[in-house]
Amino acid sequence: MSQTTDRVLVVVPTYDERESIPVALERLREHVPDADVLVVDDGSPDGTGALVEQLAQADEAVRGRWAIHVMHRSGKLGLGTAYMAGFAWALERGYDVVVEMDADGSHRAQDLPRLLAALVDADLVLGSRWVPGGTVVNWPANRLFLSRGANLYTRLALGIPLKDATGGFRAYRAGLLRTIAMEGVASQGYCFQIDMAWRAVRAGGRVVEVPITFVERERGSSKMSRHIVGEALVRVTWWGMQERSRRVAGAFRGGREAARDA
């Protein structure tokens, strides 16, 4: 854990993850036994939410406390809104740390203790595939190119010094989530992760990256789509244009003030 007194909640969005969620929960229990888990299920047709309810009851019988919780949503409302709902749930209940983590096995539970430990000196810790020590296992060349290209474009467009702003394995301090203006967050997928990282940087949060091993999902099918990629490209381009406009306006105001005071 980042500190022995921290209350940690791992938020795990699911949609048709019946095959993978039992393994994900078991690995979390093994590697971060003191953490609680909130599964945010988007009305999975395969019964993921109902299965998690059963697993939560069995876990409570062993631990003597409720450590696994389920939020049932009415339908497939998207990754970004799932995490936003999870953040709100965590803040309402006084958790100190909130973790984003996939259910499909691509985010390894054994890497999570290192992310939590890094929070001692940070407000947001990104599990990074693209810093020294980070690796990706079993990805085809087109996915490697897409991820590296998206992160390079994000750094250039937004001017943020992050190697893996698109990654979805990360740990937030609750204080940072309370500071970030999240009412305008409406993006999904890649774009949601970029949006939140950028907001953290702009809010003055201390953001660090910890190398992880990212493993291509073990079960089920990927939720990646052309729509998600297209949304990220359009939004990041627009945000970059806005950021440059703000910088130009700020420089112009600074020049006028300097001339007036001369």
Residue 2 in any domain: the answer is no
- pLDDT-derived band at 94 (thresholds 50, 70, 90) equals very high
Residue 262 in any domain: the answer is no
Q: Hey, which residues does 14 pair with through a beta bridge?
A: 41
Residue 205 in any domain: the answer is yes
Q: Tokens standing for 225?
A: 């789509």
Residue 1 in any domain: the answer is no
pTM: 0.87
Q: Rounded CA gap, 131 and 171, in Å?
A: 17
Task: Quote the domain boundaries for residue 164.
Answer: 8-254
Residue 260 in any domain: the answer is no
- pLDDT-derived band at 261 (thresholds 50, 70, 90) equals low
Residue 261 in any domain: the answer is no
- Other Cβ atoms less than 10 A from the Cβ of 238: the count is 11
Instruction: Kindly report the CATH number assigned to the domain that includes residue 101.
Output: 3.90.550.10
Q: Hey, which residues does 71 pair with through a beta bridge?
A: 40
Helices (H), the chain: 21-31, 48-63, 79-92, 112-118, 141-158, 174-179, 189-202, 226-261
Residue 220 in any domain: the answer is yes
Residue-wise pLDDT for 145-160, tens only, equals 999 999 999 999 999 9
Q: Rounded CA gap, 196 and 190, in Å?
A: 10
Residue-wise pLDDT for 18-40, tens only, equals 999 999 999 999 999 999 999 99
- Residue 52's alpha-carbon distances to 15, 96, 125, 141, 259, in angstroms, are 12, 24, 27, 34, 65
Residue-wise pLDDT for 24-83, tens only, equals 999 999 999 999 999 999 999 999 999 999 999 999 999 999 999 999 999 999 899 999
Residue 3 in any domain: the answer is no
More confident residue, 9 or 227: 9
pLDDT of residue 243: 75
Number of domain units in the chain: 1
